[in-house]
């Protein structure tokens, strides 16, 4: 998925909460932080994660999670202070993605409403529709997407509208929307994932599997485990999840080149580049946490 600036910095290290649990003295505090975070208590979660990090200073996962939530607190505060709309939206998108990743859908909806009220763009309309769909507000999602100016309707809008309609039993109308995608092919892993959901709801399992494969291929390596976990647990994909072709699709590897430490497209954007460049090529490639994928890059 296309994530830029602060969005990349925040989300490149987000993993399903269960994968962060440790075995030391910080385990209880970490579990408490995870529970508080799911309830939208960011201050309480930050304190709990910080306690877990202090209890186990060598547990990198705890340190990172504590830093992420502290960053989230700062970003939430910055939304009240930022006057530049572009910067405000970038921060809002990062927070919205974080909320979605952690199942804090009520906060995601509130933020999406705030963004759409402030900016009223196709992008914010999509953000709002996505939050509504996550909460089962299918008719509201469809209504909002139908209100987008025809000239600004793209593949993502059509796919989300199709999802909203299919969930309400309007499958014929949803299927018609798919025929319009030939001229506006999905351009992101997120759109491919949503397309897989729509195909599944319409009983088109072959097409759904193909969309999932494209989604996984165009997801950066650092985000691949998370998006595959979403596929395993997504209600819209339930009819597909027991199929052999679904299990085969889960073996798909990313084709996106990505620096292992900076999470950028290559080592050229790594903040530690200067420390590595003085070494010979072999030691640079072998440097722990560094190096870039040889896979072809496709955003």
Q: Which of 41, 60, 86 is the last residue of a domain?
A: 86
Question: Is pLDDT at 284 greater than 70 in this prediction?
Answer: no
Question: Is pLDDT at 281 greater than 50 in this prediction?
Answer: no
190 and 299 in a single domain? The answer is yes
Q: Is residue 20 part of a domain?
A: yes
Question: Is pLDDT at 7 greater than 50 in this prediction?
Answer: no
Q: What is the pLDDT of residue 48?
A: 96
**Structural domains counted in the chain:** 2
Q: Which of 31, 57, 86 is the last residue of a domain?
A: 86
Q: What is the pLDDT of residue 260?
A: 62
Burial of 152 (0-12, 13-18, 19+ CB in 10 A): exposed
Q: Which of 61, 86, 111 is the last residue of a domain?
A: 86
Which domain does 198 fall in, by range?
186-262+276-299
- pLDDT tens-digit map of 106-134: 999 999 999 999 999 999 999 999 999 99
Beta bridge partners of 259: 292
Q: Is residue 168 part of a domain?
A: no
Q: What is the pLDDT of residue 269?
A: 52
- pLDDT tens-digit map of 140-196: 999 999 999 888 888 999 999 999 999 999 999 999 999 888 666 677 999 999 999
- Taking the complete model, does pTM exceed 0.75, yes or no? yes
Q: For the chain, what is the mean pLDDT?
A: 84
């Amino acid at each position: 998925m296309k994530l830029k600036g602060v969005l990349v910095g925040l989300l490149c290290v987000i993993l399903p909460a269960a994968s962060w649990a440790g075995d030391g003295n910080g385990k209880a505090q970490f579990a408490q932080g995870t529970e508080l975070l799911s309830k939208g208590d960011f201050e309480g979660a930050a304190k709990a994660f910080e306690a877990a990090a202090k209890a186990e200073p060598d547990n990198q996962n705890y340190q990172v999670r504590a830093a992420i939530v502290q960053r989230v607190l700062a970003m939430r505060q910055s939304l009240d202070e930022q006057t530049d709309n572009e910067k405000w939206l970038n921060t809002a998108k990062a927070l919205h993605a974080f909320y979605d990743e952690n199942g804090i859908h009520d906060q995601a909806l509130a933020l999406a409403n705030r963004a759409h009220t402030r900016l009223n763009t196709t992008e914010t309309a999509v953000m709002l529709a996505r939050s509504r769909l996550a909460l089962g507000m299918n008719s509201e999602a469809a209504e909002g997407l139908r209100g987008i100016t025809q000239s600004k309707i793209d593949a993502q809008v059509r796919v989300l509208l199709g999802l909203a309609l299919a969930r309400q039993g309007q499958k014929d109308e949803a299927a018609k929307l798919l025929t319009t995608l030939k001229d506006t092919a999905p351009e992101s892993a997120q759109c491919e994932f949503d397309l897989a959901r729509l195909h599944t709801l319409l009983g088109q399992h072959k097409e759904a599997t193909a969309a999932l494969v494209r989604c996984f291929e165009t997801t950066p390596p650092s985000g691949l485990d998370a998006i595959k976990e979403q596929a395993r647990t997504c209600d819209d994909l339930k009819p597909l999840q027991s199929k052999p072709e679904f299990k085969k699709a889960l073996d798909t590897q990313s084709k996106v080149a990505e620096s292992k430490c900076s999470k950028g497209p290559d080592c050229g954007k790594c903040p530690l580049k200067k420390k590595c460049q003085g070494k010979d090529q072999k030691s640079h490639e072998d440097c722990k946490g560094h190096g870039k994928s040889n896979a072809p890059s496709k955003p």
